[in-house]
Structure 1
């Protein structure tokens, strides 16, 4: 009460007119959290009523006086609840949307990116070649994803390179036309995106959306209450603004709920296409189980991808310098003075 340094008229204006220019949302939050509860308010009203009949009655102390004044603002509690929910709704829905967009992006990349299929094809081809003498393992039609993080541990006979570095180099030289150039694009989902995806849980999304739905219904009920109990003077602009917000919020929430269902279905289809099975205790494959493998593989792959690109860039620069050097040697020539032997030169000498 002593820290906000605001007049009660300012607070009343902020609540009734939904104007946060003087009383900000943080202050409204503090006022809402410290408002008088029903039993406290009942005691304050009893004291005020009894004081009216007594000349020597003690006045309310400052805190109680402040709470009493707040209670005189038309539907203070209901209005502030709606204002605060409106201020946080968009932030919450946007946070969920951003996470889901990352999840959708990595799912689509792993599902339809041609480069991903080419890299996995190389892993299978080189694996079969290395196991060529083994009938049971040298003619495989596929492999489990948990092999991917282990590729860096398979070393050449002289220990100079790993199977992963060889695959990366082979991919760049035979499948990527921009290899060794600044326009070269990393072919797998970014490790950071895969890490974020591995931390997500569909249960958390569902819980957050359920809470938003519950709070939105509460806000709608509080809005109806305010509109029903408020005088015509205090009805607007609260009704207009809240009606507009509630309509848009319901649309946004329904869209987000639908998007969550679609994203979860896309993810489950992806896990089936890669033949990934749930871990013990899981009903379905979790993002953690699936994307943790890809995160580790993508991190290792990108490290080698950067190294190989630098080597190829150096090769390109060296070849360009050599070509330029050869071109200069071909075009360079020496100007030599030609001895004059014609009749005109001979006559000139005699003169």
Structure 2
């Protein structure tokens, strides 16, 4: 079991060439019949030596397990921690809760003439906020929500700062991670059995003593991750059995990304509107100066038309009627899509 003499990469390579049970029987029969070994090919002689080792596959499996154990712990632990952090932060975020309440209230208001109030919506319906656009197709409902939040609920505008490791959690297959944790336990159990059969091998003893606690910690993390994720999914009215992390967390990743983009676009639009207003004021000031100098009728008319156009655009940009895509606004609050 000395991995310094036989590195784990070499062990895993050898495992692909170990003789099968039938090949071992044939080689042992060949030896019992006292046939000349030199008649065998180099490959068969190599297999002959392997076939004489008791529990060869079990021992090689244990060596591979021991060699990969530290890397497995190092790989699985951050994934479990990401699930825990993301699940807890999403469920406990009061700012996110307020944002969702605002969306629900807006949906109820926009549909007040068509149906009674509803008390919730499917998380997947958050994606539809980008499909509901103003009549001029320049803004989505999410742009409007972002504006409302900034103007009236600014204390929750940075709700996404309360969400931790959501993107990392979205990339985790919790089912596969839990299976890997169980596989590590099976590997440790196999190592313990071999230890009792191998005259209490010192290397196996040290490995078990040094790493049994690490596996127990990983198993505890796995239990916490599973419970935290189930609690978060149920909190939002979803079913953990049909809503894995690869479905649940990406909803929030997409929503946060779209919300931040809406914030940036709103800010850009505000700057553009401010520039328009400044230009309008400059034109009005110029008209006053030219009035004092008795400008020509044509020049005055052109200036008046420009000012009227600027005012019209200013009003249009600030008055939006939102239309749902194929009834999208109803779907946002009922979650029918």
Match of 2:16 among 33, 38, 42: 33
2:167 paired residue among 189, 192, 197: 192
TM-score, normalized by length of structure 1? 0.61
What is the CA–CA distance in structure 2 between the aligned matches of 1:187 and 1:205, rounded to whole Å?
Answer: 25
What is the number of equivalent residue pairs in this alignment? Answer: 273
When residues 57 and 305 of structure 1 are mapped into structure 2, their CA distance, relative to the original with a 3 A threshold, is closer
8 Å Cα contact 2:84/2:224 also seen in 1: no
Secondary structure in 2 matching 1:227: coil
Q: 1:308 to 1:91 in 2, by over 3 A?
A: farther
Give the direction of change, closer, same or farther, for the CA distance of 1:58–1:100 in structure 2 (3 Å limit).
Answer: closer
**Matches of 2:47 and 2:25, distance apart in 1:** 12
Alignment of 1:213 onto 2:172:
no
Which whole-Å CA distance do the structure 1 matches of 2:82 and 2:180 have between them? 17
The answer for unaligned runs of 5 or more in structure 2 is 276-337
Give the alignment partner of residue 92 of structure 1, picking from 49, 68, 72. Answer: 72
1:345 maps to none
In terms of Rg, which structure is larger? 1
Cα distance, 1:59–1:224 mapped onto 2, change above 3 Å = farther
Q: What is the aligned partner in structure 2 of residue 327 from structure 1?
A: none
Alignment of 1:187-266 (within 5 A): 188=163, 192-193=167-168, 195-197=170-172, 200-202=173-175, 204-227=176-199, 239-266=201-228
Match of 1:267 in 2: 229
**Residue pair 1:268, 1:285 contacting (<8 A) in 2 also:** no
**Change in 2 beyond 3 A, CA 1:70/1:309:** farther
Q: Counterpart in 2 of 1:159?
A: 137
Q: CA separation in 2, counterparts of 1:98 and 1:263?
A: 11
Q: Deviations over 1:278-307 (max 9, x none)?
A: 4xxx85654455335334423422332444
TM (norm. structure 2) is: 0.64
Select 2:149's aligned residue among 162, 167, 171. Answer: 171
Q: Distance in 1 between matches of 2:88 and 2:129?
A: 24
Q: 1:78 to 1:265 in 2, by over 3 A?
A: closer
1:77 Cα deviation after fit: 5.0
Unaligned runs of 5+ in 1: 1-14, 229-238, 319-351
Q: Following the alignment from structure 2 to structure 1, what is the Cα–Cα distance between the partners of residues 136 and 207?
A: 68
- Point out the structure with the larger helix share: 2
User: Is the 8 Å Cα contact of residues 81 and 219 (structure 1) preserved in structure 2?
Assistant: no
The counterpart of 1:82, out of the listed 62, 76, 80, is 62
Return the alpha-carbon distance in structure 2 between the equivalents of residues 39 and 154 of structure 1. Answer: 67
Please name the residue that 2:103 is paired with. Answer: 123
State how far apart, in whole Å, the 2-side matches of 1:305 and 1:193 are. 23
Distance of 2:148 and 2:76 partners within structure 1? 39
